[in-house]
Amino acid sequence: MTTKEIIAALERAAKANRESPIREGNILRLPSSGEVIMTGDLHGNEVNFQKLMRWADLDRHPQRHLIVHELLHCSNNNRPDECHSYRLAAAVAEMKVIYPAQIHILLGNHAMAQISRDEILKNGQPMVRALNTGITTAFSERAGLVMQALDEFILSLPIAAYAPNRIWMSHSLPSPRHIASFDDFIFEKILTVDDLKRDSSLRALTWDRFHDTESLEQLKTKWNADIFIVGHQPQEEGATLIHGCMIILASDHPHGRFLPFRLDRSYSPEELFKQIKPLAAIA
């Protein structure tokens, strides 16, 4: 993609994100029929995204929804000081424009760090600096325009998806220390850069770890959910089920996995976990 095409894709995808017909505030309310393909963090893995697109085959399955998150900041950069994960963001944005009702992108903590310019380390590498360097190297005097379009794209992202069969999807979940103070107003308000920097509830939903059964039971009641699907926490084997209701996925490495499920039936957590598939099996 050319510089002009990348900027246009990010801008048009931001518009599509905001105008999604299934979006209510900052939550995607999925229909009661069709299918979902939920992923874990992608972190710049263009190969795995292309595999997901091939498996989803959205042209032939108009009722199929592909949900991705955490696009930025490569897990393994060729150089520690230069990241090219903007390419995955641009590729996903391009597909969002083509399939606006079928591809959905959720906000993650790395995207928040990128827009707030708060440094975050991954495998000992400074991710925000590395991505900014990668953009500057690739686009020279037009780097500022690309960064601006990327920021607007990030600001347009919803923060959770909810399926009527009581399955909740977000990058992470608030941990026990943030349950009592969590403010659901973040699901309704128009998010600003300041929110991404400072809103404690938004940060809890995208940054927190160390969940327990009691806090998840509280979230079930609070959000009318039975099962949570998230990413954020590294999974060497691609997936795990913890506390009887929380599935954690990773899609950013050779052992990455994804989770397809139907919207017109209910699942137990164990049944849903058995639906998980390896990305390595996709040719």
pLDDT at 220 over 90: yes
- What's the whole-number average pLDDT of the chain? 96
CA distance 170 to 161: 6
SS3 244: coil
- The stretch 119-146 carries a mean pLDDT of 93
pLDDT at 58: 98
What digits encode the pLDDT tens for the residues 230-268? 999 999 999 999 999 999 999 999 999 999 999 999 999
Q: What's the predicted TM-score (pTM) here?
A: 0.97
pLDDT at 77: 76
Reported confidence tier of residue 276, pLDDT bands at 50, 70, 90: very high
pLDDT at 110: 96
φ, ψ dihedrals at 43, nearest 5° = 40, 55
- The stretch 178-204 carries a mean pLDDT of 95
pLDDT at 26: 98
pLDDT at 78 over 90: no
Question: Cα separations (Å) of 69 from 37, 179, 232, 235?
Answer: 12, 23, 9, 15
pLDDT at 164 over 80: yes
CA distance 175 to 243: 13
CA distance 63 to 57: 11
pLDDT at 190: 92
Reported confidence tier of residue 125, pLDDT bands at 50, 70, 90: confident
pLDDT at 81 over 90: no
Give the residue extent of every domain in the chain: 3-276
Assign domain 3-276 one CATH number from 3.90.1150.10, 3.60.21.10, 3.40.920.10, 3.40.50.970.
Answer: 3.60.21.10
pLDDT at 80 over 80: no
Task: Tell which wins on pLDDT, 118 or 12.
Answer: 12
CA distance 234 to 225: 24
- The stretch 147-164 carries a mean pLDDT of 98
